[in-house]
Structure 1
Amino acid sequence: MLSLVGIVVVIIMVFGGYVLAGGKMAPILKALPLELMMIGGSAVGAYLTANGTGVIKKSAAGLAKVIKGPKWKDEDYRDLLCLLFILTKLVKTKGVIALEQHIERPEESKIFQQFPKISGDHHVVAFICDYLRMMTMNFDDPYQVEDVMLKDLEKHHEEEHAPAHALQTMAEGLPALGIVAAVLGIVKTMGSINEPVEVLGAMIGGALVGTFMGIFLSYLIVGPLSGRLGQVLDEEARFYNVIKDVLVSHLHGNAPQISIEIGRKSVPTHHQPSFYELDEAVAALPPEL
């Protein structure tokens, strides 16, 4: 939501300053529809040309992420650590075989269903279950598992950041598209060279709106949206890093309490529960889990 506020502030400051300086909005408003058609339309067309269907779909979802912010909140990180505590404790007390019913059908597992927001995210559940399943297959060398996890997270990072990179590429191209629109406006003006000075001035001013809009959209709208999307995706990726750190710590032979404490240290600072908050959350877990 703060991103929308920022865009409103940008528009008010830029055009408000222009009007206060004595500028008239009429020439801009007159030229704006066609200039936006040329610049915005060509930018969208180039975006469709340069990107696959998957990136385009993720771009729409990415813009929603920019408005809503990161998916995972304070309580979600706390719930994740509690979930991992239960799972690692289950392995310690009953062995890896006890995991099978939970990792093969997580949608029916009492453990996963205790945390509905996490269990509702297919990617997170699959990530947890895949590596717990490896443990049941005796693939339990912590260094090898960590290496596989890092490669998995790197692949996930590249795929999730593709829309942000595509938006940044669009932002970098918008000033050039503004120049294209401006040049076409000048070409149109040169075809009316016999018109009075007042008419030519209005036509040249309209052409320059194209240059302005290209720069405005690039540096004040699309570029910042791309940067914010990258920040949101980076923060959401920290959720997976917490899972990795807890499971690798478990494979090193640490107690569940130690493993989730190591995971707690990976939680972003502004979402990180204190030691005592996490301890209370673990103590409040239903005893039958």
Structure 2
Amino acid sequence: MIGLIGIVVIFVMVFGGYLAAGGKMAIIMKSLPFEMMMIGGAAVGAFLISNDMSAVKHTAKDMGKVFKGPKWKPEDYRDLLCLLFSLIRIAKANPVEVEQHIEDPENSSVFSTYPKIQADKEAVDLICDTMRSASMNYDDPHQVEEVLEKRMEANFHHAMHSSHALQTVADGLPALGIVAAVLGVIKTMGSIDQPPEVLGKLIGGALVGTFLGVFLAYGLVGPFAGKLKAVVEEDNHFYQLIKEVLVANLHNHNAAMCIEVGRQNTPTHNRPKFTELEEALKELKQAAA
């Protein structure tokens, strides 16, 4: 919702200010379709040249994040800590039993308690693979931590591709606006024998290209890229939390300590309160008893 509000504010302030200053929309509206064809078409073409089809589809899908915001909400962080607590308790009490959950998470009674997390393949794979490593009795937990870091870095780099691709387009739009403006000037020079009122409209139409390139770059595409980056970084905290808790488990801390490590490493605005989490964990213990 806030994304839509931002777009409305941009258009109202820019064009409202232009009209309030006595500007006329006639020249802009007349030139806009042709300028948009040149600038927008060139930007789309450059985007297609610099990305493969999977990246194009990934970027198109990610555009919705600008309006939806981060996937993981505060209650999801609480649920994740509860899920990890249950798995760690089972692993410490009965290592054979936990294998049933990490080998078949789709049919696990523990994972199915938290369907949103269960539906996220990356989160489930990260949990199961790390706990599987723990069951293999690694002598050095730091080795597992290093593997996790590399894996998460690769996933994060892939998730950031849409933002980088859009930012590249935003960086090129002002130059494409100049290209369109130059073509407009060329057109104007071909009509140099016309009266000033005609030349004025032609020059005004040419300048629409420069305006449109800068407006799209800094008013829309650039902010879209920035928002996507912020959302990806925000959601990445969720996977970092998985790593923090399970690495603590590899160091043989008890389940409660592992969860508290995770809670303390949760971003402040998503961090569950100690009493809230304690109550949720107490309910889990009672249900398991």
TM-score interval, normalised by the smaller of the two chains: over 0.9
- Give 1:101's aligned residue: 100
* Partner AA of 1:106 in structure 2: P
When residues 140 and 108 of structure 1 are mapped into structure 2, their CA distance, relative to the original with a 3 A threshold, is farther
RMSD over equivalenced CA pairs, Å: 1.2
Match of 1:5? 5
Displacement after TM superposition at 1:45 (Å): 0.6
Tell me the secondary structure at the aligned position of residue 56 of structure 1.
helix
**SS of 2:287 mapped into structure 1:** coil
Is the CA contact (8 Å cut-off) linking 1:140 and 1:251 kept in structure 2?
Answer: no
Q: Distance in 2 between matches of 1:225 and 1:105?
A: 38
2:136 counterpart letter in structure 1: M
The whole-number CA distance in structure 1 between the counterparts of 2:187 and 2:9 is 34
Tell me the TM-score normalised to structure 2 length.
Answer: 0.97
Q: Distance in 2 between matches of 1:70 and 1:19?
A: 36
- Whole-angstrom CA distance in 1 between matches of 2:70 and 2:47: 25
| Conserved 8 A contact 1:245-1:262 | yes
Moved more, 4-13 or 54-63: 54-63
Paired letter, 1:5: I
Return the letter of the residue paired with 1:3.
Answer: G
Corresponding position of 1:81: 81
Q: Read off the aligned partner of 2:214 and give its amino acid letter.
A: I
In the other structure, the counterpart of 2:280 is 281
State yes or no: 1:199 paired with 2:201: no
1:212-250 deviation per Cα after TM superposition (whole angstroms, max 9, x unaligned): 000001111111110111000001000011000000101
How far apart, in 1, do the equivalents of 2:265 and 2:240 lie? 7
Equivalent AA in structure 2 for residue 38 of structure 1: M
Q: Given the two structures, how large is their TM-score scaled by the length of structure 1?
A: 0.97
Tell me the number of residue pairs that the alignment of Structure 1 and Structure 2 aligns.
288
Post-superposition offset of 1:140 = 5.6
Does structure 2 conserve the Cα–Cα contact (< 8 Å) formed by 1:63 and 1:229?
yes
Aligned to 2:66: 66
| Identical aligned residues as a percent | 55
Q: What SS does structure 2 have at the residue aligned with 1:194?
A: coil
Q: Any idea what SS the aligned residue of 2:192 has? A: coil
* Alignment pair present for 1:19 and 2:19: yes
Task: Structure 2: state its 5+ residue gaps.
Answer: none
**Cα deviation 1:113-147 (Å, max 9, x = unaligned):** 01010001111111111111112222363211111
Distance of 1:140 and 1:19 partners within structure 2: 71
CA distance in 2, matches of 1:136, 1:249: 14
Tell me, in whole angstroms, the C-alpha distance in 2 between the residues paired with 1:266 and 1:61: 30
Deviates more, 1:137-146 or 1:268-277: 137-146
Please tell me the residue identity of whatever aligns with 1:34: F
After TM superposition, what 4+ stretches of structure 1 lie above 3 angstroms from structure 2? none
Alignment-mate amino acid for residue 138 of structure 2: F
5+ residue gaps, structure 1, are: none
* Native 8 Å contact 1:134 1:140 kept in 2: no
What does residue 91 of structure 2 align with?
Answer: 91
